[in-house]
Amino acid sequence: MNTLANRRFVKMNGLGNEIVVVDLRLTPSGAGALDPAEVRAVAGTRGAPCDQLMVLYPARGQATDAFVRIYNNDGSQAKACGNGMRCVADLLFRESDKRELTFETAAGVVRCWPGSEPKVATVDMGAPRFGWRDIPLAKAFLDTRAIDLRIKPADPRLQSPSVVSMGNPHAVFWVDNVRAHDLAKIGPAIETDPIFPERANISLAAVASRGHLIVRTWERGAGLTKACGSAACAAAVCAARTGRTERRVVVTLPGGDLSIDWRMDDDHVMMTGPVAYEYEGRFDPALFDRAKA
């Protein structure tokens, strides 16, 4: 359980979504998944506290720049993390003169481009999936724009969310005020509802205008975060699909704004936003010894 002992890491954030990046591209033998306990040790208070750990591995095909595994701070793996991919992309853009990067993830191939200003990147989050099996849901719903899911007794005002997969499952509840609900309390209950066999990211979304959404998210495996890129994409797609907004919107999260464009020509969702660098370091081997104990 010592894959990361003495490994260099970079602590970053995307709109306050705390990200730690570890580069194992020069370690072919280290291409396996990390032990969940090792991830929890890294993400805990004695390590480099984070929402997600992004680990880069050698590219598995000539057409990609790296293979990326994404871990939530509870040790579980995630298929998508838009804010984390922007962080990874900015790091690799700094080490090369490339104007486009391609990564392989559990959700598929992700393409990234540098933004029009420093420390800004655009990520192609792929096409949303609306079929109940693709999200996935535990039972059939012909129309996933609003499914029959009432949250009682946690918050009876929340019902009939829009659901979608943006590489991971999302449920979006439409509200007038995203601060009027105790998301820290209701998020865990909805995340683990039997209707979501792989759990789900739970968002509250308010429509400020045809081009502006306000969103808060309980992220599966990570809890309340200042920003969740895939949730911003999910809310934007569901808003456009239900006629609430246009296909290009600004999504305001507690940590700041993301620009989301659900393109007409190929159905892909483009997410553009900033990244920030916090610090660098190496993981103390004693961190993992304590985790074993």
- What whole-number distance in Å separates Cα of residue 54 and Cα of residue 69? 6
Q: What is the model's pLDDT at position 13? A: 94
274 contacts: CB under 8 Å, gap ≥ 6: 14, 15, 86, 115, 119, 120, 256
Q: What is the model's pLDDT at position 64? A: 92
81 is catalytic: yes
Mean pLDDT of the chain: 92
Average pLDDT of the segment spanning 142-160: 82
Q: What is the model's pLDDT at position 115? A: 84
**From the candidates 50, 112, 228, 238, which is the catalytic residue?**
228
**From the candidates 81, 87, 112, 238, which is the catalytic residue?**
81
- What whole-number distance in Å separates Cα of residue 239 and Cα of residue 76? 29
Q: What is the model's pLDDT at position 289? A: 79
- What whole-number distance in Å separates Cα of residue 91 and Cα of residue 284? 23
Residues β-bridged to residue 11: 20, 279
- What whole-number distance in Å separates Cα of residue 273 and Cα of residue 21? 18
Domains and CATH numbers, the chain: 8-125+276-292 (3.10.310.10), 162-267 (3.10.310.10)
**pTM score, whole prediction:** 0.91
| 291 has pLDDT over 70 | no
238 is catalytic: no
Q: In Å, what is the CA distance from 152 to each residue of 144, 146, 159, 188, 248?
A: 20, 17, 9, 13, 34
Residue closest to 220 by CA, chosen among 253, 238, 196, 204? 196
- DSSP structural state of residue 117: S
- DSSP structural state of residue 195: T
